[in-house]
Amino acid sequence: MNTKIINSKVAAVFFLLSINIFSQTWQVLPSLAPSPGRYEDLWFVNINTGWVVENGGDKRILKTTNGGASFTEQFRLTSADSMSFGFRSVAFNNLQLGWAGSTSGLLMKTTNSGVSWYRVDTTIVPPPIGICDISVVGDSVFYGSGRLNGPSNLIKSTNAGLTYENIDMGAYTNYQIGVFFLNKDSGFVAGRSNIISEGAVVCYTSDGGNTWVKRYRSFIQNEHAWNIIFVNSLVGYATIEKFISGSGNVIKTTNGGVTWERLTVSNVSGVNMDPVGFANENKGWIANHYLSGLWQTTNGGVNWTSIPVGNSIHGIFILNDTLGYACGNEVIKYTNDMVGISDPVQTTSPFRNTLEPNYPNPFNASTKITYKLVNRMTVILEIYNSAGEFVETLVHGYADAGEHSVIWNADNYPSGVYFFSLRTDAGNQFGKAVLVK
């Protein structure tokens, strides 16, 4: 579940000390060093006990029992497993039963509060494609949604993992991330429609995933819905991520997901809207996972203000009106206590891949697109025209860390502006190519 304006410690100290220490603030937890990759997701079962999963240089599951004052490593992927997997999601039904998933299909389970973790994806037939987000209901219901970059599946268990069902979501989505169930049968998934022209989509089921209805379609081809949450049975929010530049957006429902309203986050630079968390119907936070800080609303998403703490935030977990956590390159806490001062912001995200400008540009007939990966991961490189319409896929599959290049031959396409989108497990980037014949 389920950003870089300040760049110095002096500014961070000024920010923290210039506010009333008894007011609610977001502060970096000094108990965890900045991740060489990213802390991807986090989950708390009470105000003190929670878990954080990490991806990047270290691929770990960490636990706190004192509200983030200290963390203990509970599990670390072996060197061999870390070449193929990295943690992306975590959730707990209760203090004992928990889950951790990856975009590559790894699913871990614990039944003793994380003292021991073991793989369960190897027992699921067919095996999971990816577990980008997790929703749990009660003491025994689990839903795992994926995946970023497709294809899409929903993993389900209603008996605490004694048995599982793998639901093929290809008839509804081809790019699926967020999942949120209101009860064991009624829930939502968020992603991109299987029909390209429908763009971002939110799907609803009332029978535990057997059948689905598309409740929201943006009809903007170059975007998808990412994280989705409900504050109560009526009010819910989801973030929108795009492949082409523009204003940030969230969508909101006030009637239980029957209809959705699109809201603009006009002061957000960039469009990689990712995590979302709300304390009540009106007060909540979102983040752009390639930038620093959070954006906060106190009027249900109508207006947003920047909060310059945290970097590359990818997970938000809100416990109540006065307590919450978020994670990215660091773990930060929403509290009225001073938790210590550390460097809250880095100038760049170490987990970010690099997409180079194509060469030559402008070009006639063919151009070279180069990208660099920080880890082995899934890669999809696609071309869109200036209207945001899909043109063709250049790369779709796993690629090792390092530099890669591909030649796009545009002999069959008319002159004009084209966008190339690099979609990976670390997020999305895009560039612009000009074809002149």
Say which residue the tokens 């008996």 belong to.
159
Question: How many angstroms separate the CA atoms of 296 and 309, rounded?
Answer: 12
316 and 364 co-located in one domain: no
Residue 344 has pLDDT above 50, yes or no: no
pLDDT: is 93 or 386 the higher one?
93
Contact at 8 Å (CB) between 272 and 427?
yes
The pLDDT-based confidence of 422 (bands split at 50, 70, 90) is confident
CB-based contacts of 386, cutoff 8 Å, min separation 6? 416, 417, 418, 419
Choice among 44-53, 206-215, 269-278 with the minimum mean pLDDT: 269-278
Identify the bridge partners of residue 370 per DSSP, sorted by sequence position: 405
Q: Does 315 share its domain with 360?
A: no
| pLDDT value of residue 265 | 86
Does 14 have pLDDT greater than 50? Answer: no
Q: What is the pLDDT of residue 182?
A: 94
**Integer Cα distance of 172 and 16 in angstroms:** 46
Q: Are 26 and 153 in a shared domain?
A: yes
229 found inside a domain: yes
Considering the domain architecture, whether residues 379 and 255 belong to the same structural domain is answered as no
User: Which DSSP state fits 283?
Assistant: -
Instruction: Answer yes or no: do 393 and 257 share one domain.
Output: no
For the segment 154-182, the average pLDDT, to the nearest whole number, is 96
Pick from 77-81, 111-115, 195-199, 311-315: least confident: 77-81
* In-domain check, residue 266: yes
178-192, 282-296, 383-397: least confidently modelled range? 383-397
User: Same domain for 242 and 363?
Assistant: no
Asked whether residue 3 is assigned to any structural domain, the reply reads: no
In a domain, 345, yes or no: no
18 secondary structure, DSSP code:
T
pLDDT above 70 for 170: yes
CA distance 248 to 275: 13
Burial class of residue 21 (count of CB atoms within 10 Å of its CB; 0-12, 13-18, 19+):
exposed
Kindly state whether residues 394 and 324 are assigned to the same domain. Answer: no
Q: For tokens 């690629």, name the residue.
A: 399
Looking at residue 83, its pLDDT comes to 58
Q: Residue 27 and residue 331: Cα distance in Å, rounded?
A: 9
Check whether 348 has a pLDDT greater than 60.
no
Q: How far apart (Å, rounded) are the C-alpha atoms in residues 217 and 219?
A: 6
Q: Tell me the C-alpha distance between 36 and 11, whole Å.
A: 23
pLDDT at 360: 95
The model carries a pTM of 0.79
Q: Are residues 213 and 245 in the same domain?
A: yes
Residues 165, 294, single domain; the answer is yes
Q: Is the pLDDT of residue 234 over 60?
A: yes
Maximum average pLDDT range among 56-70, 122-136, 344-358: 122-136
Check residue 10 and give its pLDDT: 30
In the predicted structure, residue 67 carries a pLDDT above the cut 70 = yes
Same domain? For 223 and 317 the reply is yes
The backbone torsions φ and ψ at residue 177, rounded to the nearest 5 degrees and listed phi first, read -125, -75
Domain span at residue 238?
9-335
CA dist., res. 101 & res. 87, Å (int): 6
pLDDT of residue 122: 95
Domain identity same for 331 and 428: no
Boundary-marking domain end, from 308, 335, 362: 335
Domain containing residue 198: CATH number: 2.120.10.30
Tokens of 259: 């209809």
Q: Give 426's pLDDT tier (boundaries 50, 70, 90).
A: low
Same domain, 303 and 425: no
Mean pLDDT on 232-241? 93
How far from each other are the two terminal CA atoms of the chain, in whole angstroms?
A: 47
What pLDDT is attached to residue 339?
A: 58
Predicted pLDDT at 384:
84
Using an 8 Å Cβ cutoff, are 109 and 98 in contact?
yes
Any idea which of 130-144, 146-160, 340-354 has the lowest mean pLDDT?
340-354
pLDDT-derived band at 376, boundaries 50, 70, 90: confident
- Average per-residue pLDDT for the chain: 86
Tally of domains in the chain: 2
**Between β-strands 25-28 and 331-335, what pairing exists: parallel, antiparallel or unpaired?**
antiparallel
Report the share of the chain in percent with pLDDT over 90: 63
Q: What is the mean pLDDT of residues 263-271?
A: 72
Residue 1 has pLDDT above 80, yes or no: no
